[in-house]
Amino acid sequence: MRILVVEDEHVLAAQLCEALSEAGYAVDVAHNGLDGYHLGAEESVDAVVLDLGLPHMDGITMLTKWRAAGRDMPVLILTARDDWHQKVAGIDAGADDYVTKPFHMEELLARVRALIRRAGGHASATLHCGPLTLDTRAGRLTIEGRAVPLTSHEYRVLAYLMHHTGEVVSRTELTEHIYAQDYDRDSNTIEVFIGRLRKKLPPGMIETVRGLGYRLVDGK
C-alpha cells in the first residue's frame, strides 16, 4: 500500500515517512502544495496525509481540486490544535478524517489503517482470506494460526491483494501501489514476489489471470 505525505515541516515529514515505512507502506513525500497536488493527481496512492498550511498551494485548495477531478483516495488532514475552522473546512473539502497537532504517531498510523480499510470495504484491522490472517497493525501473517515471515515487499504485495480479495489486480497496479515514486520500479520483480508468496501460501491461492494479472482467492 502506498501513502502520500504532504508536509512542509521537514522534521515532521521525515518522522512520518519513517513511521509509515516501518509500518509496511511505500511512502512518497512532498514539502509544498504544488508538488503534493501533482503527485496526488498523477500517481496511484492508497491514502494521503495532508497538512493544510502549505507553501505554493494550501491543503484545502489541493483537496478541492483533487475531488473535483474525481480523485477519491482517503485523505487524513493535519490541523493545529485550536483551529476548528480548518477541521471543518477540510472535512467540507472532502477530507475523510483529521489528526490534531501535536499527535501520537500510533494514533496517526491507526487512522491511516482505518481509512485504507474502509476504502476497501473492510471493517477490521485484521484481514482474512481462507486460512490467511493478516494483522495490518502488526504487519504479521498467520496461516491457520502459524506465523509466516514475509519480507517488506512480500508483505506489501500480499496486503494489496488481500485488500482486493477476489479482484483481478494487474502487475502495473501492483507496481504502482507497492513502490514509492522515486523507487526504481520494475514490474518484472512483481513476478518474483508472487513466486515467493506462492511458496509460502497454500497452493492455488494466488491465481494468474492470463493477460490481466493476479487474483487472491480463498482456496476453497
**Per-residue pLDDT in tens (0 to 9) along the chain, 220 residues:** 899 999 999 999 999 999 999 999 999 999 999 999 999 999 989 999 999 989 999 999 999 999 999 999 999 999 886 777 888 888 999 999 999 988 999 999 999 999 998 887 777 788 999 999 999 888 899 999 999 999 988 999 999 999 999 999 998 889 888 887 666 666 578 899 999 999 999 999 999 999 899 999 986 5
Of 115, 126, 134, which is closest to residue 74 (Cα–Cα)?
115
Question: Rounded CA gap, 130 and 141, in Å?
Answer: 13
Q: Are 168 and 214 in contact (CB under 8 A)?
A: yes
Q: Are 17 and 45 in contact (CB under 8 A)?
A: no
Q: Rounded to whole angstroms, what are the CA distances from 49 to 6, 16, 27, 165?
A: 6, 9, 10, 25
Q: For position 183, what pLDDT does the model report?
A: 62
- Is the pTM here over 0.85, yes or no? no
- Domains and their CATH numbers in the chain: 2-119 (3.40.50.2300), 126-216 (1.10.10.10)
H or E element that contains 206: strand 206-209
Of 44, 46, 42, which is closest to residue 62 (Cα–Cα)?
42
> In 3-state terms, what secondary structure has residue 128?
strand
